[in-house]
Each structure stands twice: as C-alpha cells, then as structure tokens.
Amino acid sequence: MNKTLQKYRKKSGTSTKTDSFVHSLNVKRMSNTQVFTTVKALRNHLADVARNKTVGFVPTMGALHAGHASLVRTSSEYCDFTVVSIFVNPTQFNNASDLEKYPRNFDKDIALLDATAETIVFAPTVEEMYPEGHEPKRMNLGRVSEIMEGEFRPGHFDGVVEVVYRFLEIIEPTHTFFGEKDLQQLAIVQRMVEEFNLPVEVVACKTFRLEGGLAASSRNERLTDEQKDKALILYQSLDRVRAEKEKYGPREARDKVKEWFQNSDLELEYIEFVDASSFEDVNEWTENTHGCIAAFAGEVRLLDNISMS
C-alpha cells in the first residue's frame, strides 16, 4: 500500500471531513448535477441512462476552476453524458503534508459544474475507491516516470495509474479528457490505455490559461494576488524561449531560464526541453519539443509546459 495512503488512513480513520460530507449526500439531485458516492449507485445509474450512449469522463481532485470547466464543456460537446470525479487521491501524494493542504471545497465545485453543463458527479470516499483487498494496477512507465515530475515526486505516477485505471474500470467511459498542462500524466494515461487495451479514447485538451498566461490550477487558490503576478514567469520564460529559439539551442535555453529566475521571487525546481513522445532530452529544436518547468511560489508548487514549435 502507498505510504501516504497508509498514513492517511491511520490519521483520518475512515474518511476526511470532505469524505464524510460527500458520503452523507448519498445520491442527490442538484439542478444540472447528480452526485453519487458509491460504485454500486453510479454503475446502476449509468446502466439505466447511458446504455449504448457515449460517456465522457473528466477526472479531478476537486478545487475546480476554469480549466476543469473547459474540460467538462469539451466532454459535453463530444459525449451524451459526462461523469466528473471529485476525489483527492492519496496515492498520488508522496508528501502527506501536501495531501493535507490540498484545497477542498465541495459546495463550490458543485456550483461551478452546475453553471457549466449537465454532469454526473462521482465523489467516493477512499474506502469506496480502495476497498479491502484492492490490488493497484501497475505498469512499467519507463523514462517518462523518471524525469521531471517523476524525479521530484517519486511514486506519484504509480498513484496516477492506480486511480485512473480504477475510475475507468468503474465508469467504463467511451472518452476521457485530460489537460495538456500535466504533460507527463497525459502521456502515462495514453500508454496505460494502450498497454491494457482499454476501450476508451483519451482526448488531450489545450491548457487553459488565465490573463497573462498563468496556467489554471487548483493550487492557484493557495496563492496571493502578488504571488499570482510573480508566477507568470513560468509561462513567460517558456514563451520567451519559443520566441527567441533561433538564438540558442535547448541547452543554452535552460541556462537562460535559470538566469531569469535568479531575479524572481520564485524558486525554480527544474526546466527541461524534451521530446513530448519519448521524453528524451533534445539537443536541437524539433516540432515535438516541449519546454517543461516547475517552480515554487512560497510553499506552492506550480508547473507548466508549452510546445516550442
């Protein structure tokens, strides 16, 4: 069992405050939004209303924002029904403190969904997702799990595989929608679907950006207005490299970004230029080169990426 999950269960017993509130809802109609908290209730509902229909799935950990709303709208355009999961997955966190601090506001999440599109929400407890005897799905992730997010968040992508596979197993969607902001996560989900021959189409969606270019993220809720302004350096650095890439190659570009961050209040964790398919470092610019970056604004860790073409 994931160590963070072990600590989480030991500390919280059977549920967090959010889990307890969600569990008490059982099944509730909220205008455009129906909420289900158990696998049995959700599957029974889908079997009743979505048989021979297209079902889109948007996985989230709550703290929903405009980027999530964009994914939901895209799913609603593609599919007859859209299922949105709201589940803070402990197996994705290698840091128990980060799990504890992750923003949670279920009422606000439902309000955003209700204003966006007609959706079905699946908001299970940890015990519902990972019952006694649960065996996590594993796969050899290769280099994509060894660099950048994989290097700085050991075990994170094992948790991604575990939870996404479990959701796909429960919901059986025809399509699932992931944002390109989490480029490695998207690649891993695509490989998982291919490796296990799962009958679902993974739809990659453009990163939703706020004014100035800051990528929409649940973690932005923990930033002050001043930090949000200073966090623009993530996108601005990548965009500047893209605009000036004829001046220098990827290696020199990394050094340039490091220099720019020396005059910033943010702490750079990594800057890499990689092939978006193999995730190998590149020595020259190609159509498939992506710039990937992570940095801390105070205690809040932010990441971004853009295509260099």
Domain 3-205 has CATH 3.40.50.620: yes
- With contact defined as beta carbons under 8 Å apart, do 274 and 280 qualify? yes
- For 218-307, give the CATH class: alpha beta
Q: How far apart are CA 294 and CA 266, in angstroms?
A: 10
pLDDT, tens digit, for every residue of 241-254?
Answer: 999 999 999 999 99
* SS3 assignment, position 184: helix
Q: Kindly report, as residue ranges, where domains of CATH 3.30.1300.10 are found in the chain.
A: 218-307
Torsion (CA) 88, 207, 276, 87 in degrees, nearest 10? 10
pLDDT value, residue 7: 52
Alpha-carbon distances, residue 140 vs 20, 191, 196 (angstroms): 35, 10, 12
Catalytic residue list contains 290: no
On whether the CB atoms of residues 189 and 162 are closer than 8 A, the answer is no
How many percent of the chain have pLDDT more than 70?
A: 90
Name the nearest CA neighbour of 56 among 90, 31, 81. Answer: 81
Identify the active-site residue in 65, 68, 156, 290.
68
CA atoms within 13 A on the CB side of 25: 24
- The predicted-structure confidence for 56-67, as pLDDT tens digits, reads as follows 999 999 999 999
Residue ranges matching CATH 3.40.50.620 in the chain: 3-205
Mean pLDDT over the full length of the chain: 91
For the chain, the straight-line distance linking the first and the last C-alpha, in angstroms and rounded, comes to 41
SS3 per residue for 212-256: CCCECCHHHHHCCHHHHHHCCHHHHHHHHHHHHHHHCCHHHHHHH
